[in-house]
Amino acid sequence: MTAKIIDGKSFAEGLRTRIAGHVQRLKSEHGITPGLAVVIVGHDPASEIYVSSKAKQTAEVGMASFKHELPEDTSEADLLELVHRLNNDGQVHGILVQMPVPKQIDPIKVIEAIAPSKDVDCFTPANVGKVQIGLPGPVSCTPLGCLMLLRDQLGSLSGLNAVIIGRSNLVGKPMMQLLLRENCTVTVAHSKTKNLADVVRGADIVIAAVGRPEMIRGDWIKPGATIIDVGINRIPAPERGEGKTRLVGDVAYAEAAAVAAAITPVPGGVGPMTIACLLANTITTASLINGLVPPT
Ligand code: NDP
């Protein structure tokens, strides 16, 4: 078997086109321009790239984009003050503070300062709880992107065995809630899981969110399974020249693709979905803040 490649890049493009349509309707029918504020503190190169693409894609779908770049030595009090200002700014419907923040700032305090109604990352305890009990609101961006790809690939997920490898607050735990909602039977594995290969062999759906290059091998995969590889790992690529690197996922791609029915590549799988889902969450919060039912 050679797996179908799940093309996250083109799915994300389609999603952004649908989002641009929702933006137009909010503008023309309700006079609302959804606005997303992105805050970055310091000069982490990876964070700067993420923030620039978030701002660019926000503007491309017709939303208002507000970018706040603060110096590395910004105090916690100053950052919290900015968050409070954005909480009270009627033009802003989503607030994202790019993590990690410099060490003088407590990230938990920052997250808790964001108004849950504008928490488009779905980091605040209030929104994490809403996802758990199935109330409308923003949903963690990367897991939401994984779910969209799975639904597109499989249709109903009901009754399928899903194994998530990784239990972070960012990916593994919210993924568990979303798949449970879809009536999957969910197993969450982590660094203390025994016989991980055997656990994965029972999975119709594998979600790999570990951060270890190519850890999940082809002979762990049940024939016909669907694999979503969240991992992004940079490894040396001497074949491309001295000092060169390349990106790989947490799954040994070629081995797994020989067994699975479908698999996301790295790059070009889950990655592009994350920012598109951030924009989708901004449509959700802009709708809810204005008393409208968010589009599905
Ligand atoms: P974390 O480091 O927060 O969590 C990693 C998880 O993997 C932990 O639960 C850990 O277990 C588990 N783990 C570590 N080693 C093993 C092992 N040997 N066997 C089984 N489980 C193990 O990572 P994140 O969830 O933030 O990210 C995971 C990966 O996804 C990273 O590569 C990251 O770059 C990528 N990522 C990609 C995104 C995208 O947009 N595509 C977005 C977010 C993340 P324990 O809890 O026991 O320590």
**Which two tokens mark 111?**
């997250």
- In the prediction, which pLDDT does 32 show? 98
What are the C-alpha distances in Å from 137 to residues 121, 128, 140, 192, 246?
11, 10, 10, 33, 36
Q: E strand or H helix at 66, and its extent? A: strand 64-70
Q: To test ligand 1's pocket by mutation, which of 11, 49, 171, 176 has the most ligand atoms within 8 angstroms of CB?
A: 171
- pTM for the model: 0.97
Q: Do residues 168 and 245 both lie within one domain?
A: yes
Q: How many domains does the chain have?
A: 2
Instruction: Give the atom of ligand 1 at the shortest distance from the alpha carbon of 249.
Output: 32
CA diameter of the chain: 57
**Which two tokens mark 154?**
């499989």
Q: To test ligand 1's pocket by mutation, which of 142, 165, 168 has the most ligand atoms within 8 angstroms of CB?
A: 168
Task: Tell me, using a 6 A CB cutoff, whether residue 91 lines ligand 1.
Answer: no
Q: Do residues 161 and 101 both lie within one domain?
A: no
- In the prediction, which pLDDT does 296 show? 85
CATH number for the domain that contains residue 260: 3.40.50.720
What are the C-alpha distances in Å from 126 to residues 123, 132, 213, 238?
8, 10, 34, 47
What count of other Cβ atoms lies within 10 Å of the Cβ of residue 193? Answer: 15
Q: Do residues 167 and 243 both lie within one domain?
A: yes
Q: Do residues 145 and 109 both lie within one domain?
A: no
Task: Tell me how far apart the alpha carbons of residues 80 and 103 are, in angstroms, rounded to a whole number.
Answer: 15
The CB-side HSE value for 41 (13 A sphere, CA atoms) comes to 23
- Helix locations, 155-290, DSSP H: 172-181, 196-201, 253-257, 271-289
CB 238, CB 244: distance < 8 Å:
yes
Outline where DSSP puts E strands in 72-204: 94-97, 161-165, 185-189
CB 14, CB 152: distance < 8 Å:
no
Task: Tell me how far apart the alpha carbons of residues 234 and 243 are, in angstroms, rounded to a whole number.
Answer: 12
Q: Do residues 43 and 147 both lie within one domain?
A: no
Q: Is residue 5 part of a domain?
A: no
Q: Do residues 106 and 150 both lie within one domain?
A: no
Nearest CA to ligand 1 atom 4: 168
Question: Ligand 1 centre from 166 Cα, in Å?
Answer: 5
Task: Tell me how far apart the alpha carbons of residues 18 and 221 are, in angstroms, rounded to a whole number.
Answer: 34
Task: Tell me, using a 6 A CB cutoff, whether residue 166 lines ligand 1.
Answer: yes
Question: Ligand 1 centre from 140 Cα, in Å?
Answer: 15
Q: Is residue 232 part of a domain?
A: yes
Q: Is residue 178 part of a domain?
A: yes
Q: To test ligand 1's pocket by mutation, which of 191, 264, 275 has the most ligand atoms within 8 angstroms of CB?
A: 191
Q: Is residue 124 part of a domain?
A: no
Task: Tell me how far apart the alpha carbons of residues 76 and 117 are, in angstroms, rounded to a whole number.
Answer: 22
Task: Tell me, using a 6 A CB cutoff, whether residue 274 lines ligand 1.
Answer: yes
181 annotated as a binding-site residue: no
Q: Is residue 284 part of a domain?
A: no
Task: Tell me how far apart the alpha carbons of residues 36 and 17 are, in angstroms, rounded to a whole number.
Answer: 17
Q: Do residues 147 and 262 both lie within one domain?
A: yes
Range of the domain at 179: 141-272
168 annotated as a binding-site residue: yes
CATH number for the domain that contains residue 45: 3.40.50.10860
- In the prediction, which pLDDT does 1 show? 67
Catalytic machinery residues = 54, 98, 121
Task: Tell me how far apart the alpha carbons of residues 266 and 270 are, in angstroms, rounded to a whole number.
Answer: 8
Q: Is residue 177 part of a domain?
A: yes
Instruction: Decide which of 71, 101, 117 is a domain's last residue.
Output: 117
Q: Do residues 71 and 171 both lie within one domain?
A: no
What count of other Cβ atoms lies within 10 Å of the Cβ of residue 19? Answer: 24
Q: Is residue 191 part of a domain?
A: yes
Q: Do residues 150 and 255 both lie within one domain?
A: yes
Report ipTM (2 d.p.).
0.99
Q: Do residues 175 and 109 both lie within one domain?
A: no
Task: Tell me, using a 6 A CB cutoff, whether residue 191 lines ligand 1.
Answer: yes
Instruction: Decide which of 117, 152, 181 is a domain's last residue.
Output: 117
Question: Ligand 1 centre from 190 Cα, in Å?
Answer: 9
Q: Do residues 101 and 220 both lie within one domain?
A: no
Instruction: Give the atom of ligand 1 at the shortest distance from the alpha carbon of 145.
Output: 40
Which residue shows structure tokens 């503070």? Answer: 97
Task: Tell me how far apart the alpha carbons of residues 106 and 100 are, in angstroms, rounded to a whole number.
Answer: 10
Q: Do residues 173 and 251 both lie within one domain?
A: yes
Q: Is residue 134 part of a domain?
A: no
Q: Which parts of the chain sit beneath pLDDT 50?
A: none
232 annotated as a binding-site residue: yes
What are the C-alpha distances in Å from 18 to residues 1, 62, 146, 208?
33, 12, 18, 28
